[in-house]
A and B are shown apart, each in its own frame.
Chain A
């Protein structure tokens, strides 16, 4: 790991991205004091790494591929962890029940975890991460192995943690679509160092992620449309389907190019039947920033 310097305000979901081996899980384990860094220092919520117990008291973590005691019930598991965080017996019980309700596990509270589905285990793991009402919550691949419905539930829960609890959420994931959905800010890590930091739009723009447009015109007007576009200096090519034109857009001036293309076609009295924009997404930026290290 190289120097990481991140200041994230409360209530924000930070997407923590990187290819396999980039050091995301190691970084999370170091920041949560489970692993000791070989060198260097850090602070979490203003607490230096020399006070690991205090850091752990303030953070919540859903580890990647966390294991669960199969024979304990969900409620017993949460009560135990609440006690380890300093709750009294009574408040541990209340906290466990309230978190089970928040994560939609009340009906399964008394059942052994061994019978829980993958999605239920992940929600239980999130409930465990919240027993101490943390100011920073680290979620390492929370949607790994979940079906689309489970993924949606999990993303809703993540939003809720940030919005209702005002906690900073650090979300480590490979699924870029979910980052686009929930993250207010994104950090891309590659080979132990940060290669991008900003909002999804900023990163896509900064990476110069290529964009493509597709215009649909009447098939008989294809040649005329190509000519009109070329006259305005817009690169376009005929698609294999009749009436489809592919536009190459400049990453930083894509909107301007689209406007120019539409203007050219309207000026030439060619009806525009459809317009699709592609590219310029986080995935494009991610690949651009991590493929060559």
Chain B
């Protein structure tokens, strides 16, 4: 027998991430999401560029609108991907085989999260030509792209952690997806508050606390108002904290990645 001749893999998370990337991209799931994303962006850009009502928007606002949609939907795709990561394996009956491998559960969760972030990177890559098309006339292509990538990456990290956390604790995919979408809508709701509600210290605090509102507000300041990247950096505090906390929580909750104990044989 040679059992025991093998040693546990040192970077199991990398093997998990590689396989997840193959499953996501070659399996066609991420491509489908990306296709829907690019159709949405195309429609938005076309409307922004041609629709008479939207044409009244100042060019910088058009860029900001497209960028915000790209960032929000790109991050949402990460949430949809991670919400399925663990609960999906549990539901398909493939989790037990993974748990039988001599790898730490944190490696499984980390690898899956890393692969899910590729969806955000790809979504942002898809958004680049649209942003470039709209921003080239006002000379803010670089600012818009860098700002969008930083803000989107923070939100993607936050939602990746959140999705993994919910997925690890959920018994079924349906619960995981429902809870994830509900949380996302709750986070997105403050961005739709009327201007009046945003006034005063309470409104300001409310917007600053919500990572979504705070991020998109920062993006608006940089793209529309032409502020420097560090001038409004305090608005990034909430997304940075939210991203760090959710990733740490998701990795910590990896010990709850278990089979449900069933009565039976």
Contacts and interface: CB of A to CB of B under 8 A. Distances in A.
Interface of A: 10, 18, 20-26, 29, 32, 34-35, 45, 53-54, 56-59, 61, 63-69, 71-72, 76, 80-81, 83-87, 125, 128, 132-135, 141, 165-167, 172
B264 A20 contact: yes
Contacts of B103: 53, 84
Contacts of A58: 3-4
Contacts of B94: 66-69
Interface in B1-43: 1-9, 12, 15-16, 19, 22-23, 26-27
A56 B102 contact: yes
B49 to A, nearest CB: 39
A53 B102 contact: yes
Contacts, number: 113
Contacts of A53: 8, 102-104
Nearest to B3: A135
> Taking chain A's interface residues, is the majority helix, strand, or loop, or is none over half, making it mixed?
loop
A72 B100 contact: no
B23 A71 contact: yes
B15 A84 contact: yes
21 contacts: A22-B265, A24-B265, A34-B96, A56-B102, A57-B7, A63-B97, A66-B93, A67-B94, A71-B27, A80-B19, A81-B97, A84-B15, A84-B102, A85-B6, A85-B9, A86-B7, A86-B9, A87-B6, A132-B102, A133-B3, A133-B5
Interface string B140-174: 00000000000000000000000000000000000
Q: Which of B1, B2, B259, B263 has the most CB of A within 10 A?
A: B1
B109 to A, nearest CB: 14
A57 B8 contact: yes
Contact of A56 (B2, B27, B101): B101
B265 A25 contact: yes
B227 interface: no
Contact of B4 (A57, A83, A167): A57
A57 B101 CA distance: 7
B1 A32 contact: no
B23 A34 contact: no
A252 to B, nearest CB: 32
B187 to A, nearest CB: 32
B111 to A, nearest CB: 10
A134 B2 CA distance: 8
Interface in B86-104: 92-94, 96-104
A191 B3 CA distance: 33
A67 B6 contact: no
A65 B259 CA distance: 13
Interface in B222-265: 258-259, 261, 263-265
B171 to A, nearest CB: 15
Contacts of A45: 3
Nearest to B96: A63
A68 B102 CA distance: 19
Contacts of A87: 6
Contacts of B93: 65-67
A29 B19 CA distance: 25
Given A25-B264, A25-B265, A67-B94, A86 B8 contact: yes
Nearest to A45: B3
Contacts of A59: 100
A32 B100 contact: yes
Residue among A10, A56, A128 facing the most chain B CB atoms (10 A cut-off): A56
Nearest to A29: B259
Given A71-B27, A80-B15, A64 B6 contact: no
Contacts of B97: 63, 66-67, 81, 125, 128
